[in-house]
Amino acid sequence: MKSPRALAGQAGDGGGGLAADRQQAERGDHTAGPGDRSGHTQVAVEGEDEAGRVGRAVDRAGDGTRVRSVVRTATGIEVAHEQILRSLPDGGILVEEVAIVPESLTDLPRVGTVLEVVPGLEALEWFGGGPHETYPDRRRAGLVGRWRSTVTEQTVPYIRPQENGGHADVRWLELREEDGRGLRIRLDRPRQLSVTHHRAAALAAATHDEELTPSPETIIHLDAAHRGLGTASCGPDTLAEYLVGPGTYRWWWTLEPLAPPESR
């Protein structure tokens, strides 16, 4: 097994935040991948044209490192975010997160963490809703189970690019290279999750599926809360119980290295 730093890079610079359809995400700068390979973690604040961090403080929190930051949207709305990162005995890290969404943000597509993983980890396995895409208000046709696929196969080619490929009620996921090395992410409770080769900004910018070019990296959304489908652009809007609004959101997850099967 590799060290937490080799697995997750500069963990103190990591990110979790708000995300939504048809908007742009700000790229962060810490790594996530097996061994000593590098990738990216994103802080996404969507629902505004652009957003950025305006403050960050790092200190100790018991046996962990606490990162406090503020993300400001293009219209000046501020979202407070806190992470506490702790090393695990198996070489992984535990990340505890809190995001405080102000009263002025009344209808968000999602609240959660966005990770970018280095190229090459194409084999995907998860325990949760599947095998096709499922969402908080569209999941009865899916079955909760252990599913195997690839990252490429998660994309649903809607003619007008949009949020796609998500899975409800996910407990954990694994990504592996051809040699079996990889990573495992465990969630604090069943959550909405997606794993694709398309960033939210790319989906927002495209008007037709032919305009999309898959990224070699893998983009993972771990959602503490995810809005139901529909925007009332055609037909009724999402039911009130599936809306995501202001409040304090708490979630935690772990990132663990996976060795090739024969080396375990």
pLDDT in tens, the chain (264 residues): 333 333 333 233 333 433 433 232 332 333 333 333 333 343 444 444 456 777 789 999 999 999 999 988 888 999 999 999 999 998 999 999 999 999 999 999 999 999 999 999 999 999 999 999 999 999 898 999 999 999 999 999 888 888 889 999 999 999 999 999 999 999 999 999 999 999 988 888 888 998 989 999 999 999 999 999 877 777 788 899 999 999 999 999 999 999 987 755
The 10 Å Cβ neighbour count of residue 231 is: 14
**The pair of three-digit structure tokens given for residue 195, joined into one six-digit string:** 């794993």
**Are the C-beta atoms of 172 and 220 separated by less than 8 Å?**
no
**Cα 192 vs. chain centroid, distance in angstroms?**
9
Strands 93-101 and 182-196: unpaired
Whole-prediction pTM value? 0.80
**Are the C-beta atoms of 150 and 218 separated by less than 8 Å?**
no
Nearest to 34 by CA among 96, 95, 92: 92
Q: What Å distances lie between residue 211 and 207, 208, 214, 221, CA to CA? A: 7, 6, 10, 22
The 10 Å Cβ neighbour count of residue 173 is: 21
- Map residue 238 onto helix, strand or coil: coil
**Are the C-beta atoms of 73 and 62 separated by less than 8 Å?**
no
The predicted structure's pLDDT at residue 235: 78
The predicted structure's pLDDT at residue 233: 77
The predicted structure's pLDDT at residue 256: 97
Task: Set out the domains of the chain in order of their start, with CATH numbers.
Answer: 4-227+244-259 (2.70.98.10)
